[in-house]
Structure 1
Amino acid sequence: MSQPSTPAPGASHPADPRPGGNSGSPWAAGGTVFAGVLLFVDGILGVLKGIAGIASDDVYTRINDYVFKFSVTSWGWIHLILGVILILVGLGILKGATWARGAGVVLASLNLIANFMWLPYTPVWAIVTIAIDVFVIWALCTDRSNPSDLVRSS
């Protein structure tokens, strides 16, 4: 049985063949896994928020008059559908699917916009969700490692 060869001291390591030339920051790689978990959890909370909005129109109360006026039932359907898709993309990121990273950025952006428009109903939670979405977008955009490597290294 042969042992894997190690480079001689002082020898340079071969170039990384992945786009971008390096694997990126370990913080970003860990952030990508965390972003997948956050998208999954945010999706579950979106589904619950959607069900609450659909089930009863008096669960959420608008604080002030606001430019973006939708019925709470409409918002419920928006959050429910977006939540289900976020769950699927979060699972895709955690499984290392190559499509999931781009979809995660797009869906986190849409979720950010939806929660900005949802501010009059739950201002504190909407701001927390917006902050989470900003982190998810950052983590998915800065990590240059191969998504399948994330699954193997976790």
Structure 2
Amino acid sequence: MATHGARPARTGWVGWIYFGAVVLVAGGIVQFVNGLIALADSGMMYLLPSGMAVQVSFASVGISFMIMGIVLAAAGIGVMSGKTWARVLAITLAVLSVLGNIAFFTAYPIWSAIVIVLDVLVIYALVAHGKELRHS
């Protein structure tokens, strides 16, 4: 009997998928907060070891983190509803989020570390067991 195109049976891993979706929404919120913090620090002056003062603007970083946060949260909601496009988008965005947080780890180490760990969990849950929630 062919079951081609049939939805995979739900296992206990469905909880991990929902966890991944919730973490994705939470990661989006954290990214948004990262963006707000970067905007608040956008005119910071840093003193280099050589004694030279450098003004650093995190404004564009803050805006991009805020946009990323909104898109991550939207993808998480789509994953909860079982949409394949949302799962693909969520995996792509989680990978980009990891790369972005690695790039700016020195600016916000604690927030970045939290987001990186949560993104890796999301990627695993969606890649390994995402088809269990597929509706379309």
Instruction: With the length of structure 2 as denominator, give the TM-score of the two structures.
Output: 0.78
Structure 2 residue corresponding to 1:48, chosen from 11, 19, 33:
33
Structure 2 distance, partners of 1:55, 1:119, is: 17
Structure 1 position 73, deviation (Å): 1.3
Structure 1 position 42, deviation (Å): 0.8
Structure 2 distance, partners of 1:114, 1:25, is: 33
The letter for the 2-side match of 1:34 is F
Structure 1 residue corresponding to 2:21, chosen from 36, 51, 56:
36
Structure 1 position 16, deviation (Å): 4.2
Structure 2 runs not aligned, ≥5 long: 50-55
Q: How does 1:79-90 map to 2 (within 5 A)?
A: 79-90=65-76
Give 4+ residue runs of structure 1 displaced > 6 Å after superposition.
Answer: none
Answer 1 or 2: which has greater strand percent: 2
Structure 2 residue corresponding to 1:57, chosen from 42, 48, 53:
42
Structure 1 runs not aligned, ≥5 long: 1-13, 65-69, 150-154
Contact 2:30-2:115 at 8 Å conserved across structures: no
Task: Quickly say closer, same or farther: Cα 1:126–1:92, change in 2 above 3 A.
Answer: same
Contact 2:36-2:62 at 8 Å conserved across structures: yes
Contact 1:24-1:142 at 8 Å conserved across structures: no
Question: How big is the alpha-carbon RMSD for the aligned residues of Structure 1 and Structure 2?
Answer: 2.7
Structure 1 position 147, deviation (Å): 2.0
Task: Provide the aligned length of Structure 1 versus Structure 2.
Answer: 126
SS at match of 1:80: helix
1:147 maps to what in 2? 134
Q: How does 1:1-154 map to 2 (within 5 A)?
A: 16-18=3-5, 22-23=8-9, 25-27=11-13, 29-57=14-42, 71-143=57-129, 144-148=131-135
Instruction: With the length of structure 1 as denominator, give the TM-score of the two structures.
Output: 0.70
Structure label with greater radius of gyration? 1
Percent sequence identity is 29
Task: Quickly say closer, same or farther: Cα 1:112–1:48, change in 2 above 3 A.
Answer: same
